[in-house]
Chain A
Amino acid sequence: MSTINQAYDPTGSNRMEEPVLVANHLRKEFPINDFKLFAPRKVVHAVEDATFELYPGQATALVGESGSGKTTVARMLARLYDPTSGEISFRGEPIKLQSHRAAVLRQYRRHVQLIFQDPFASLNPIHDVRYHLSRPLRLFGHAHTEDEVTEQVLALLRRVSLSPAEQFIQKFPHQLSGGQRQRIAIARALAVHPEVLLADEPVSMLDVSIRLDILNLLLRLKKEEQLALLFITHDIASARYFAENTLVMYAGQMVEGGPSEAVIQTPKHPYTQLLLAAAPDPDRIKAQGHGLSEEVHARGEIPSLINPPEGCRFHPRCPHAMPVCKQHFPARTELGNGHWTNCFLYTDQTIQQQTTAPAAQS
């Protein structure tokens, strides 16, 4: 863990730049196919109001536990799912989310690529590495002849540190380890020459010993290519190592966001505090001067997204729940320096109370 903290580079965040990809109030509901006469149609409220920006050369971590809608967000951005409402804009231009024409989708995917969570499932078992990497090269017109394809596939394999590339090119997915497969999956996304890379828990299926390698590979690529990276994870510690910005999601709602240092060192939303309490971090414990005993304790589970709790979806588990939490979802409160949270504890009238009783809870 200590290496993780040392490697973090806070100078990387530069808010002056224009965002590449902007998600605006994205919402996704999945209808449930169980037809009952006269009963209202049920839907899963997977993502409610996701708003964020991705900047070139910067990583944004999307943190949350299983079922919080992180993957749905990534798949909406990759245009595998259509958002129920909301909009996506790339370089300031809104994307026509209604259009499913192949040309429109391909034009979008030329810039935005997705890396899947499970490298054991995301490669077709009957195709070899060359096929997997040659398809995007040919589809997006980066290579035309057989020799160009071979050359570029070799270059891609070297870029994801698979050497000797000449041997990997012939291999089939079943001949590769999990880490090697994930590198192939990354190379496949890079073959398109994208500007935005959406990484959907790229290391969660991998052995612990190779996670750091893959993370470092992604960091290196981000720096070399000025990629805008969305890094989805349930491990808030790796978010801090990896990403300049962190967003925290709970049950489909974004509850806190901002520069990773701020979010992780001074978490404001009770859910973020809960998440951090679950991740062991020696620095934080030392800084606070006391052990885990006074931290927020986990209770309850992530609610059903078919009938989510009214208002703030975290209120049934929240140690600071107030009556107002059950009625409305709190608006975004800016905490300065780009750090924001959606919590009634920090809305204007409550902020004074907090300052008089100096941050006792956090």
Chain B
Amino acid sequence: MNTSSSQFSQGSNSTAKQIKQDNPLTPEREMVRALRRPWYERAGRGAQVVWHESTKNKKVAIGLIIVLFFILVAAFGPLFVHTDPNLLSMDAQAAPSAAHPLGTTALGQDIFKQLVVGTRSSIFWGFLTGIAVTIISILVGLVGGYFGGAVDEFLSLLTNVFLVLPALPLAIVLASYFPRGPQTVAAVIIVTSWSWGARVLRAQTLSMRSREFVSSAKSNGETIWRIIFFEIFPNEISIVAANFVSTTLYVILASASLEFLGLGDPNGISWGAMFYWAQKDNALISGLWWWFVPPGICIAVLGAGLSLINFGIDEIADPRLRQEKIPKLVREKKVIA
């Protein structure tokens, strides 16, 4: 005890150097070295925990497989498509066959190629917009909730205004004013959909702010931004993750809707654009079900995958929602009253 305390009061700045120069491998030095945990080790440990939790929970596992499948298709699928998916051909309105696995459009475009290439645009813009929406809601929610007072009043007012605005109609109006393209659709969706997450995070931060570990960090000399983003934010990570997943789902649906209404880039290829052309060329009346069903299934399956992840996050964060596995023998026992 004595040695350690005297060493401490000397200021271990000097002791550290002394050890470094005199004897590079004292037992103490070795211990310090052994306890070193560089960032990649901590990140690896974090990834391990996430992996363990997400594979243990069936819902998350299935959801992740679905979402990863779509991400892989988005990333690598277009590399295998060698011809332009918008290329017209004489083989119009063909039903699914070996040559065209999902048939062709009224103009003879290969639907399978369109679907694969369209996945990239839908997934990329969907996730990008989801991330942007989440970041804005984190910033607004945490800053408003932590600072309180006039800052909170202003940010709350802003959040409430955006909450009561009808998001989709507003998005339609906005999108029709700006040049067409996925960027416009993304920007419009960001503007109209950040408020839900901000609201939830503000409420959570309000309760976190008065927790004692926040005051103790404050009295310990911690800076305000560090308190917000290193003390409070990590405690809200499950809410943020769930919020991100559901936002991404909403964003993918909303951008498909906007594109279906013809507010996206009509020459671009995405699931929404496929709907738009299918509707425009009367696919339903002509009986071209292979035109609009595949993108519909893609959206539905991806949505289901994201929802499964979301349910799983809820279960991981809240043990009361977890389904405990009950052995058959135990399950069959009857209650005798």
Contacts and interface: CB of A to CB of B under 8 A. Distances in A.
Contacts, number: 109
Contact of A151 (B5, B32, B213): B32
Interface string B1-42: 100110110011101100000000000100111111110000
A147 B36 contact: yes
A148 interface: yes
A121 B231 CA distance: 13
Interface in A146-187: 146-148, 150-152, 154-156, 158-159, 161, 166, 169-170, 185
A155 B7 contact: yes
Contacts of B215: 75, 80, 116, 122
Contacts of B36: 146-147, 150
B231 A124 contact: yes
Nearest to A118: B212
B211 interface: yes
Nearest to B31: A166
Interface stretch (B112-120, B175-183, B220-228, B239-247): B220-228
Given A121-B213, A188-B220, A155 B4 contact: yes
A144 B37 CA distance: 16
A143 B12 contact: yes
Interface residues of A, number: 49
A139 interface: yes
B8 A123 contact: no
A159 B5 contact: yes
A143 B15 CA distance: 12
A154 B212 contact: no
B32 A113 contact: no
B222 A185 contact: no
Contacts of A151: 12, 15-16, 28, 32
Contact of A155 (B8, B33, B37): B8
B32 A109 contact: no
Contacts of B32: 147, 150-151, 154
Given A109-B219, A121-B211, A169 B8 contact: no
A75 B222 CA distance: 16
Contacts of B35: 150, 154, 166, 169-170
A155 B216 contact: no
A169 B36 CA distance: 11
Given A102-B223, A109-B220, A158 B12 contact: no
Nearest to B34: A166
A154 B28 CA distance: 10
A166 B7 CA distance: 17
B221 A136 contact: yes
B8 A161 contact: no
Which bucket holds chain B's interface residue count?
A: 35 or more
Contacts of A118: 212
B213 A123 contact: yes
Nearest to B16: A148
Given A124-B235, A150-B32, A159-B4, A136 B16 contact: no
A135 B5 contact: no
Interface in B253-274: none
A114 interface: yes
A116 B216 contact: yes
Nearest to A102: B223
A125 interface: yes
Nearest to B230: A127
Contacts of B4: 154-155, 158-159
Contacts of B34: 166
A80 B5 contact: no
Nearest to B8: A155
Nearest to A108: B221
B234 interface: yes
Interface in B48-72: none
Contacts of B322: none
A281 B127 CA distance: 69
Of the listed residues A155, A166, A192, the one surrounded by the most CB atoms of chain B closer than 10 A to its CB is: A155
B280 interface: no
A155 B5 contact: yes
Contacts of B221: 105-106, 109-110, 136, 139-140, 192
Contacts of B38: 146
B13 A148 contact: yes
**Which 5 A-B residue pairs are closest in the complex by CB-CB distance?**
A121-B212, A122-B216, A158-B4, A155-B8, A124-B213
Given A127-B231, A152-B12, A155-B5, 9 more contacts: A80-B215, A110-B221, A124-B213, A125-B235, A144-B13, A146-B36, A150-B32, A154-B31, A154-B35
Interface of B: 1, 4-5, 7-8, 11-13, 15-16, 28, 31-38, 211-213, 215-224, 226, 231, 234-235
5 contacts: A113-B220, A114-B219, A146-B38, A152-B8, A188-B220
Interface of A: 75, 78-80, 102, 105-106, 109-110, 113-114, 116, 118, 121-127, 130, 135-136, 139-140, 142-148, 150-152, 154-156, 158-159, 161, 166, 169-170, 185, 188-189, 192, 224
